[in-house]
Structure 1
Amino acid sequence: HKFGEYFPGTGDLRDIGAGRGKYYAVNFPLRDGIDDDTYETIFKPVMTKVIETYQPNAIVLQCGADSLTGDRLGCFNLTLKGHGKCVEFIKSLNLPLLLLGGGGYTIRNVARAWTNETAIALSQEISNELPYNDYFEYYGPDFKLNISPSNMPNQNSSEYLDKIKIKLFDNLRMLPHVPGVQMQ
């Protein structure tokens, strides 16, 4: 999650909830340029700890495509490969999964991401070659499913990420009990 001085202004590590909900919100503020390999080093351990803490019976995963490289408003450098590994990891937990699309401002890459993530959810292999259709010209210049990372520098040092991860894990340890909702 990119934290910054723009709407809605959320995502800071200190955004942990309030009142009876204190420590129930989890945010991992990222700096510009995070790439697939770096993202994977935080996604898996953080989500593992969140799953251990919350013990969910189901997961809703929103896949915001504004984290993809080249997004008009985004500032990350993720590819479909990195996005897909996150979906694969959550799917591997074998919990009921509701997969949702999310933001993204370079529409051709949003369509690519949602196509790729739907295929992963369905355990289907799909071609990198895009089929010809009425919108084919929008997917140039390469007309492929996958996108390549840019040369954007990754401003997320391992020291920074480790510091955030330690604080986030400390916050999770502060939960008085496993969160849950009773249905009546």
Structure 2
Amino acid sequence: MTVSFHKFGEYFPGTGHILDDGYGKGKYYAVNVPLNDGIDDESYHYLFKPIIAKVMEVFNPDAVVLQCGADSLSGDRLGCFNLSVKGHAECVRYLRSFNVPLMLLGGGGYTLRNVARCWCYETGVALHVEVNDKMPDHEYLGYYGPDYNIHVATSNMENKNSRKSLDDIKAKILDNLSKLQHAPSVQFQEWPTDMELDEEDENQEETNEDLNSDTDKLP
């Protein structure tokens, strides 16, 4: 299953429409979440969390590959979104909460110092380490002035994603996902150690011997 949250429109014409949802046996296994300019942390999470939660429920993946493209950060040279580093990283944190194997990849991002900020912070999130906002001294420190911080302020750009448009997108995608057959759930259990297995085999052999002995005594 693929899930994509992206800028929709002139950037990649003809792709990523909400109605592009898979074909044939793959129907509803392609989830496209088209967004407009200026989306902020709150609006992004308003869609991201319930959609991902539903995907995890119905698809029940063995592993997740998360591409952490940073062109959605505020101030990107090409991107048109308005996410903060913490807001971007919250998506990583949320997926970590499902406790399934998770691989993090890079991706887009065209204001390079902010890409570095973001991926540094998200590496910390992946490792359950809160990265200090103030950067330590290093050879590239000059690129991060004048504040030398991990986190940068978002802009005041207009959020062109209305609550109604977000609700419409969420309702459509959740409805599509509800049409999928739920993946069977398997209850996790601890496997016995080799020593325990050996003891079980010995006990079973003794039981078999007792049964055979009793059988010999039958008339």
TM-score by length of 1: 0.91
SS in 2 for 1:28: strand
Question: In the alignment, is residue 122 of structure 1 matched against residue 134 of structure 2?
Answer: no
> Following TM superposition, where does structure 1 have runs of at least 4 consecutive aligned residues deviating by more than 6 angstroms?
none
Question: In the alignment, is residue 20 of structure 1 matched against residue 11 of structure 2?
Answer: no
Residue 41 of structure 1 is matched in structure 2 by 46
1:7 to 4, 12, 34: 12
Question: In the alignment, is residue 65 of structure 1 matched against residue 70 of structure 2?
Answer: yes
Cα deviation 1:126-158 (Å, max 9, x = unaligned):
211112222112112321100111011111111
1:112 to 101, 113, 117: 117
Q: 1:127-142, aligned counterparts within 5 Å? A: 127-142=132-147
Contact 2:39 2:81 in 1 (8 A): yes
Between 163-172 and 133-142, the greater mean CA deviation after superposition:
133-142
Taking structure 1 as reference, are residues 8 and 133 closer, same or farther at Cα in structure 2, changes over 3 Å only? farther
Residue 81 of structure 2 is matched in structure 1 by 76
Contact 2:58 2:181 in 1 (8 A): no
Residue 181 of structure 1 is matched in structure 2 by none
- Report the Cα distance in structure 2 between the residues aligned to 1:65 and 1:93, rounded to whole angstroms: 23
Contact 1:3 1:9 in 2 (8 A): no
- Report the Cα distance in structure 2 between the residues aligned to 1:66 and 1:41, rounded to whole angstroms: 19
Gaps of 5+ in 1: 179-184
Cα deviation 1:41-73 (Å, max 9, x = unaligned):
111111101111111111111111000000011
Q: Which AA in structure 2 matches 1:42?
A: L
- Report the Cα distance in structure 2 between the residues aligned to 1:147 and 1:121, rounded to whole angstroms: 20
Name the count of aligned residue pairs: 179
- Report the Cα distance in structure 2 between the residues aligned to 1:8 and 1:20, rounded to whole angstroms: 25
Residue 50 of structure 1 is matched in structure 2 by 55
- Report the Cα distance in structure 2 between the residues aligned to 1:81 and 1:154, rounded to whole angstroms: 18
Aligned-residue Cα RMSD (Å) equals: 1.6
Identity among equivalent positions (%) equals 60
- Report the Cα distance in structure 1 between the residues aligned to 2:133 and 2:74, rounded to whole angstroms: 17
Residue 96 of structure 2 is matched in structure 1 by 91
If you compute each CA radius of gyration, which structure gives the higher value, 1 or 2? 2
Q: Which AA in structure 2 matches 1:123?
A: H
Q: Which AA in structure 2 matches 1:40?
A: H
- Report the Cα distance in structure 2 between the residues aligned to 1:79 and 1:8, rounded to whole angstroms: 27
TM-score by length of 2: 0.77
| Higher RCO structure (Cα 8 Å, ≥6 apart) | 1
Residue 189 of structure 2 is matched in structure 1 by none
Residue 101 of structure 1 is matched in structure 2 by 106
